[in-house]
Every structure is written in C-alpha cells, then in structure tokens.
Amino acid sequence: MDVVGLARAQFAVTGSLHFLFVVLTLGLAPLVAIMNTRHVLSGNPLHERMTRFWGQIYVINYALGVFTGLVMEFQFGLSWSRLSHYAGDVFGAPLAMETMIAFFLESTFLGLWIFGWHRLPRGLHLACIWLVTVTAYASALFVLVANAFLQHPAGAVERGGRLALTDPGALFTNPTLVIALPHVIGAGLTTAGFTVIGASAYHLFRRTAEREFFVRSLRVGVVTAFVGTLVVVGFGYAQFEPVKTYQPGKFGGAVPGTALDAMMGIGQTLQLIAMFGLLPLLFRDLLARWRWLHPVLMLMTPLPFVAAVCGWLAREVGRQPWLVYGKLTVADALTPGLTRTDVTTSFAGFVTVLGLLALVDYALIARAVRRGPSRVALGAADDPAAPLPVPAPTF
C-alpha cells in the first residue's frame, strides 16, 4: 500500500473508532435530559434513579470519546496539511467552532450537571443537562457543516490557489448537510435505543431485583429505537437525490457499495424489528415477560454501531478520488514529504490508543450495566447514610 492508501486507511480506522463514541453520545444525551425532566416535574424517585444510571453510561462514553476526537484533529496537520492550506479558510472555521463548543461549552455544562447534584437548584441543574444536549447537537452540526463542504464545496471560490468563503449561509444550506444532519441524529437515537434495550434485557433475563426499573427502561429503549429508525431510514433514502445531483458517481465503487448495502440492510431490519416486533410487545409488558427473547435483544445491541460505521464509510469513500469534491484530490491534499514509515508509525500509534480507549469504554460501560442502578456514583448524596435532600423547585 502506498503512502496515500496508508493515510486514507489511518483516517478511516480512527474516524470509525471515534464515531462509535459520537453516535452513542448523540442518542443518550436527549434520553437522559428527558428522564431528568420527568424526575423534576413528577418528583418520582424512579425517574431520578433512571437519570443517574443512564447518565453515568453517558458520562463514561463522553469522557473517553473526547480523547478520540483529539486524534482526529491532529491528523489534519499531520497527514493532510495541503487540505489545510487549500481549504482551511473555509473548512477550518466550522471545525474550530465544533472544538470550542465541545471542549468549552458542552464540557462545562456537563461538569456542572455532574457535580451539581443536590447542590444546584433543580431547575438550574436540569437546564445544565439540556444545555449539554443542545451543545452536543450543535457540535454535530458544525462537524457536518465541515464534512458537507468536502462533499459539495458550496459558498466558496478559488483565489490565488486557495478557497475563499464568499457566502457563509451556503455552508448551512448545503444540500449535502440539510438531509445528513437528521440522518445522523436518527442514527444516534437508534443506537441509544438498542443500547438501552440490550442492557435492560440483560437484567430482565437475569431476573434481578430491579425489575420495575428495567421494564421502564425497556419501554424507553423501544420507543427511542422506533423513532430513531424512522428518522434514520427516512432521511437515508432522502439523501439519494442530492447525492445523484452533486456526486453522480458516488455509489459506483465496490467498497462504498458494500458498506452502503450493509448500512441499508441493518437499518431496514432494525426498523422492521422496532416497528412490528418490539413496539407491539410493550402491550401488557410482554416484551419484559418473554425471557426467551432477551438474549436475542442483547445480541442486537452492536448492530446500530456497525450500521453507523458502514454509513460513514459509504459517505467518505464514495467521493474518491476527491477530498474536496471537484476541487482537491486526496493525493494532492497529502502532506509533502510524508513517507510510508511516517504514516505507518502514526497509524500504529493512533490505532493502539483509540483501540484501547474503545476497549476501556466497553469494559466500563459493561461493568456499570452489570452493577445496575443500585451502585451508581453519579448523583449520590455526599453522606451515603443520609437521605437525599429535596431542593425546592425553582419553576
């Protein structure tokens, strides 16, 4: 494999590993916010316990995912410096916004939510998790703005051998962005929904003492998966028209075709399962009572992650040989003087670090799931022996 192939493979592997964290974060954030809202409005202790348990899963995934995002940023300067030189004035602005939102706003609000349990007024504490959700989606928006520009460089013209931004509004109305954003949001909801379903099925299969907790969680997971699959499949098909218009040869290659087929097959299967298999079984809690079905639900948990990675590969590989479609090829975007040894060394280092982070993330989440809601550190009272204080509502 030549230097260009190695650099492409490095970005594909590290990007795929990073997206595993992102897709779960986007799905869990609104679920935790809704659970927290239900607790504040109803005062039901079960809703608080659900918020703390699934919130802890979210925090674990977010904390480790932040580190994988840093690696993605390094690669632009390491392997693709000509991209930065040629399109940095346009492409770099949304990436800079994403970095500031993720590392300053989102992390700040998340920190306030984590450490503000029983310290902040309930209304203010609730606002923090909703701000976490809003900033998480804003971060996703700016990443997709940058990526959509690579797919279809709207709002920019070439001047003096570099791209210059002429219409900022065109970045946000880019046809390859408008439909891609809800598609990614749907993928996040689908992933979170089936993750909640799998974890709930694990506890129900083991007949743990937390039956009511996981029956409620199972309902949340099924409804979320149902909504998520409707959105992701619907907007997935809606993307074909703009792709046909702006990248007519995108899905002609064998590799993107294979990834596309896998994504579509898994997405449609999950939609049918959620719509006609799981949703009707919520009636009279049949899904919770049919223990023989629970191992199947657990085995389905990885499928949305696989579909998400396949979708990302189809979107990225399908525009080859262009990095900025019609403007800059992948080969021309490569850093001058980069050798196979350089890329091989960085490839091994990045994959090792990100692979370990992914394994640690899985191990910590699996451990938290196995322990169940009775052993959750997030939101615990300072004195475990004291009853939880109940601050007066602020609204």
Residue 386: pLDDT over 60: no
Encode burial over 122-133: b for 16+ CB neighbours within 10 A, e otherwise: beebbbbbbbbb
C-alpha closest to that of 128 among 102, 105, 101, 99: 105
Taking only the tens place, the pLDDT of each residue in 124-170 is 999 999 999 999 999 999 999 999 999 999 999 999 889 999 999 99
Q: Residue 77: what pLDDT?
A: 79
State mean pLDDT over 92-102. 86
pLDDT band at 78 (very low <50, low <70, confident <90, very high): confident
User: Dihedral of CA 151/231/101/365: which sign?
Assistant: negative
Residue 364 is assigned to a structural domain of this protein = yes
Residue 389 is assigned to a structural domain of this protein = no
Residue 78 is assigned to a structural domain of this protein = yes
Write the CB contacts of 297 (distance below 8 Å, at least 6 apart in sequence): 197, 198, 201
Taking only the tens place, the pLDDT of each residue in 194-207 is 999 999 999 999 98
Q: Residue 70: what pLDDT?
A: 77
Q: Which domain holds residue 7?
A: 3-154+165-375
DSSP category for residue 173: S
The predicted model scores a pTM of 0.92
Top pLDDT among 101 and 270 is at: 270
Biggest CA-to-CA distance, the chain: 69
Average pLDDT, the chain: 89
What's CA 17's distance to the chain center, in Å? 11
pLDDT band at 257 (very low <50, low <70, confident <90, very high): low
Residue 383 is assigned to a structural domain of this protein = no
Taking only the tens place, the pLDDT of each residue in 313-338 is 988 888 889 999 999 999 999 999 88
Residue 352: pLDDT over 80: yes
Tokens 């997206």 -> residue: 19
Residue 392 is assigned to a structural domain of this protein = no
Residue 381 is assigned to a structural domain of this protein = no
pLDDT band at 256 (very low <50, low <70, confident <90, very high): low
Q: Residue 252: what pLDDT?
A: 65
Residue 385 is assigned to a structural domain of this protein = no
Residue 371 is assigned to a structural domain of this protein = yes
Q: Residue 279: what pLDDT?
A: 87
Query: Is-contact 102 111, C-beta < 8 A?
Result: no
Top pLDDT among 395 and 360 is at: 360
* Angle between the N-to-C axes of helices 45-78 and 180-206, in degrees from 0 to 180, rounded to the nearest 10: 130
Domain count, the chain: 1
3-state secondary structure of 338: coil
N-term to C-term CA, the chain: 62
pLDDT band at 178 (very low <50, low <70, confident <90, very high): very high
